[in-house]
Structure formats: C-alpha cells, structure tokens
C-alpha cells in the first residue's frame, strides 16, 4: 500500500519532527564530516518543508553511544554542514527532549530549522520506550520519516512517535520505497541480483526471496566461501557460516530446480594474511590453498560476472566482491562498480559498503539509484515488512 508523503499534508506553520539518518563519519579531533552523502540525501525533504513554511525539527542518531553522552558523537557537525549546504542558519539543541528543547522550538519561526541532539544519548531511544516517544511527539504537530536506512529498527523515533502524531514519508523515503518496490513487483527483465559481503548469514533470507523473482543470481565476496564449502571445496581460512551450509546446498539445488542461473566465482585472489602488502596469487576456486584466505574475486570471475550482467536490463548489487577496504583486495569490487556505471540498464546499489565504494569512486550519478538503506534494503528485498514503514499513514 503506497504511503502518504509530506506532499499530501499541509505543513505551513506546523511543527514538523523530521527523522533523518545523519549517521555520518565524523573525524574525532577535528569534527570534520568526511562523507556528507546522507545529509545531501535528505536535502529535498528539508528544502520542501522550509519552502512550505514549516517549523523544521530534525532528529537523528550518530554512532553507537550506548545510551550515554559521547562528545565526539554530538550532532553539532551535522548542523554546521547542513547550514552550509542549505545556505541558511541551522540552530542546535542541547538535548532531544526536555524543557529547554521545548522552549527553543517555541521560538521557531516558519521556515526555521533546528537539529536535536543525538537521540541515542538516551537508552530509551533504542528500547522504543513509550514515555520517551511521547516526549518526542510533544515537540511537534506532524512526524515525517525520511530515514529509510533505519526503517528496519523498532526504535522510539522511528516507530514509537508515530503512535502519537500523524506520520508520513519524506521524499527520500518515498523514492526508496518506489525504487525497491518496483524491483520486487515490476522489474524490467532480464534482471539479476549480485550479492557480496563478508557473511552470508545476513543475506541468506534475501537470496531465498530473490531466487523466486530474479532471472539470475550471482554471489561473490566472502559469502561465496560458504557456497563453495557447501559444494565440498577447500576454502582455507576464509570466513564461513558453517551453520548455513545445509541451507546453502538447498539454495543451490533450488536454483537448479527452478532453472535460475546461480553463479559463483571461478577464480579468486588469495593471501596468507589479510593485511596491506600481503603476498597474493590468483587460483581457481576449486583449488584454494588450505592455509590461505579468499580476499577478492579473480580476473576470470570479473569477466564472467560482467559478461552475464551485461545481458540484463535490471541489476541490483549489494556487498563488495572482496575485502575492499584494503586497496590491494579491491579490484573485483571496483571493476564491478565501473562496469555497472556504463550500463544502459536499471542499476541499483543496495546501500552499505557497495554504496560507499560507488560514492568514493565518484560513480553514484552514473547509477539509476544508490540506496541509503544497507540493512533496511536487505530486509525490504527479503520481503519483510519494515516497522518504520508500516507505521506511516496509507494513501487510501
């Protein structure tokens, strides 16, 4: 069911509590934001509210302070950066609830923007505490959720507050739901799902759901080791989800039964140690040395994957092909990113590390959509209803 958005309601003069995901990397000593893409992603919604004369109250979390005040996880750097991007003054509250915050909000004029302090400085946020949610709701007349990336969390600022305020989607949330929804219900075919990353346990459910929908599945990255081991191959010291081996075998068999191509790497870059400067070599995935680690897909796998993906009209990619934080092990991931950026097809990057790589390579604008989601994207594509979406008002 489509959800109501900020464009479906009257916000003029209203206090709008806007949940965003400003969980950006902040350099500890300088307070400099090294990647502001998440802030930029919510600019359309913030500008819409300002232009329509709402009193904008922004809330978010940064990091994992575990319910305590952590100085280097304060929201002040995001307030400064948002002010620079908007070309408007953005004020900062010393907390996210309480009398002082309510007084600041009471002084807001139409079109003003205020950022609340880190929600996770209060343990009640992640506990979805009802009293905390009510205190947040008391700050506003309307709740707008523009944080798709946190929509899989059952937290007070995501789910709890929607019980006490009219709750609608922001423009970024709307975009994410439309793009991901089309993938599940009306993709242009043939379409492929390329999955990587370190562990398969987080993505097995996604593979199970995708198997019933896609025309092709490709698995690389560390999680390929689980499927290789499930077929009886040596994978050395590579990370394997041993408790998922039976399920991996089942998925491989189901792919055969459904006649869905299920591609694994045919060669791999291996190293004795996972560190920069380690000695490496390329070997067939059927001949991984016992004492080694799989650190990337090999050149034949890159060529194979690109060849197969080149035939597709829709491609979603989630998870790197190797340990890409070490440049020496990033060739597979970077090659896939460059290839997808050249395709005349619908290319969707499913958040997380894949999105970070695409952003860092300056290729984001060459993709159809780079999701802010990560974990939320995985859950959505797995077919799971996201609690942060479920609580929003339906259009009908």
| Structural domain contains residue 186 | yes
Residues 197 and 135 in one domain: no
The predicted structure's pLDDT at residue 252: 95
Question: Does the pLDDT value for residue 67 go beyond 90?
Answer: yes
Question: Does the pLDDT value for residue 196 go beyond 80?
Answer: yes
Residues 89 and 139 in one domain: yes
Tell me the average pLDDT of the chain. 94
| Structural domain contains residue 359 | yes
CATH number at residue 59: 3.40.50.1260
| Structural domain contains residue 362 | yes
| Structural domain contains residue 217 | yes
Residues 223 and 326 in one domain: yes
Query: Total structural domains in the chain?
Result: 2
The predicted structure's pLDDT at residue 114: 98
Note the pLDDT tens digit of each residue in 264-295.
999 999 999 999 999 999 999 999 999 999 99
* Chain centre to alpha carbon of residue 331: 22
The predicted structure's pLDDT at residue 185: 87
Nearest to 19 by CA among 122, 185, 111, 139: 139
Domain boundary residue, one of 172, 204, 227: 172
Average pLDDT over residues 330-352: 94
Burial of 43 (0-12, 13-18, 19+ CB in 10 A): middle
Catalytic residue among 80, 163, 199, 338, which? Answer: 199
Q: The tokens 């999680």 sit on which residue? A: 223
Residues 14 and 51 in one domain: yes
Residues 204 and 57 in one domain: no
Question: Does the pLDDT value for residue 30 go beyond 80?
Answer: no
Contacts of 185 (CB under 8 A, 6+ apart): none
The predicted structure's pLDDT at residue 350: 85
| Structural domain contains residue 391 | no
- Grade residue 201 by pLDDT with cuts at 50, 70 and 90: low
Average pLDDT over residues 32-46: 93
Note the pLDDT tens digit of each residue in 207-241.
888 898 999 999 999 899 999 999 999 999 998 98
Question: Does the pLDDT value for residue 200 go beyond 70?
Answer: no
Average pLDDT over residues 99-109: 97
pLDDT, greater one: 351 or 139: 139
Annotate 267-317 with DSSP letters as a single string: EEEEESSSSTT--EEEEETTS--TT-EEEEE-HHHHHHHHHHHTT-SEEEE
Average pLDDT over residues 82-89: 96
Residues 126 and 264 in one domain: no
Strands 314-318 and 191-195, bridge-based pairing: parallel
Average pLDDT over residues 100-116: 97
Average pLDDT over residues 52-73: 96
Residues 155 and 256 in one domain: no
Question: Does the pLDDT value for residue 109 go beyond 80?
Answer: yes
Residues 98 and 203 in one domain: no
The predicted structure's pLDDT at residue 387: 96
Residue 373 falls in the annotated catalytic set: no
Residues 371 and 310 in one domain: yes
Catalytic residue among 63, 310, 375, 383, which? Answer: 375
Nearest to 351 by CA among 203, 161, 182, 140: 203
Note the pLDDT tens digit of each residue in 382-394.
888 999 999 999 9
Residues 185 and 164 in one domain: no
Residues 227 and 360 in one domain: yes
The predicted structure's pLDDT at residue 199: 66
| Structural domain contains residue 28 | yes
Catalytic residue among 14, 15, 38, 81, which? Answer: 38
Residue 250 falls in the annotated catalytic set: no
The pTM of the full predicted model, rounded to 2 decimals, is 0.89
Catalytic residue among 319, 352, 373, 388, which? Answer: 352
User: What is the rounded CA–CA span in Å between residue 90 and residue 366?
Assistant: 31
Annotate 106-148 with DSSP letters as a single string: HTPPTT-EEE---GGGSHHHHTT-HHHHHHHHTT-SEEEE--G
Note the pLDDT tens digit of each residue in 139-162.
999 999 999 999 999 999 999 999
Domain boundary residue, one of 137, 172, 207: 172
| Structural domain contains residue 394 | no
| Structural domain contains residue 30 | yes
Residue 38 falls in the annotated catalytic set: yes
Residue 388 falls in the annotated catalytic set: no
The predicted structure's pLDDT at residue 303: 98
User: What is the rounded CA–CA span in Å between residue 375 and residue 316?
Assistant: 14
Residues 45 and 95 in one domain: yes
The predicted structure's pLDDT at residue 376: 87
Per DSSP, helices labelled H in the chain are 37-41, 43-51, 76-86, 99-106, 123-126, 130-137, 171-185, 204-211, 224-230, 245-257, 299-309, 331-341, 352-360, 375-381, 387-390
What residues make up the domain containing 21? Answer: 6-172
């Amino acid at each position: 069911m489509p959800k109501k958005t900020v464009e479906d309601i009257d916000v003029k003069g209203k206090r709008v509590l806007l949940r965003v995901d400003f969980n950006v990397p902040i350099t500890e000593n300088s307070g400099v934001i090294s990647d502001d893409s998440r802030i930029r992603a919510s600019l359309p919604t913030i500008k819409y509210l300002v232009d329509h004369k709402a009193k904008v109250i922004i809330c978010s979390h940064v990091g994992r302070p575990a319910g305590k005040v952590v100085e280097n996880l304060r929201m002040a750097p995001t307030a400064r950066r948002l002010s620079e991007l908007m070309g408007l003054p953005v004020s900062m509250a010393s907390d996210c609830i309480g009398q002082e915050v309510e007084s600041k909000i009471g002084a807001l004029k139409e079109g003003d923007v205020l950022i609340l302090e880190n929600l996770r400085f209060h343990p009640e946020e992640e506990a979805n505490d009802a009293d905390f949610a009510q205190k947040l709701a008391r700050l506003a007349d309307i709740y707008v959720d523009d944080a798709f990336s946190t929509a899989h969390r059952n937290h007070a600022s995501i789910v709890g507050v929607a019980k006490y305020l009219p709750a609608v989607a922001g423009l970024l949330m709307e975009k994410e739901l439309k793009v991901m929804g089309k993938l599940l219900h009306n993709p242009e075919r043939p379409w492929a799902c390329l999955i990587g990353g370190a562990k398969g346990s987080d993505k097995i459910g996604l593979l199970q759901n995708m198997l019933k929908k896609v025309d092709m599945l490709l698995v690389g990255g560390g999680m390929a080791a689980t499927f290789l081991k499930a077929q009886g191959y040596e994978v050395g010291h590579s990370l394997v989800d041993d408790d998922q081996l039976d399920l991996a075998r089942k998925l491989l068999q189901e792919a055969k039964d459904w006649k869905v191509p299920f591609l694994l790497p045919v060669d791999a870059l291996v190293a004795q140690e996972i560190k920069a400067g380690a000695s490496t070599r390329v070997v067939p995935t059927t001949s991984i040395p016992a004492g080694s680690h799989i650190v990337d897909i090999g050149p034949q796998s890159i060529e194979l994957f690109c060849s197969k993906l080149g035939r597709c009209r829709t491609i979603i990619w989630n998870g790197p092909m190797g340990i890409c934080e070490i440049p020496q092990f990033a060739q597979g991931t970077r090659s896939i990113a460059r290839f997808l950026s050249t395709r005349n097809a619908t290319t969707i990057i499913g958040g997380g590390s894949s999105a970070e790589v695409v952003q860092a390579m300056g290729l984001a604008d060459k993709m159809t959509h780079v999701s802010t989601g990560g974990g939320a994207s995985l859950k959505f594509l797995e077919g799971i209803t996201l609690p942060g979406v479920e609580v929003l008002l339906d259009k009908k």
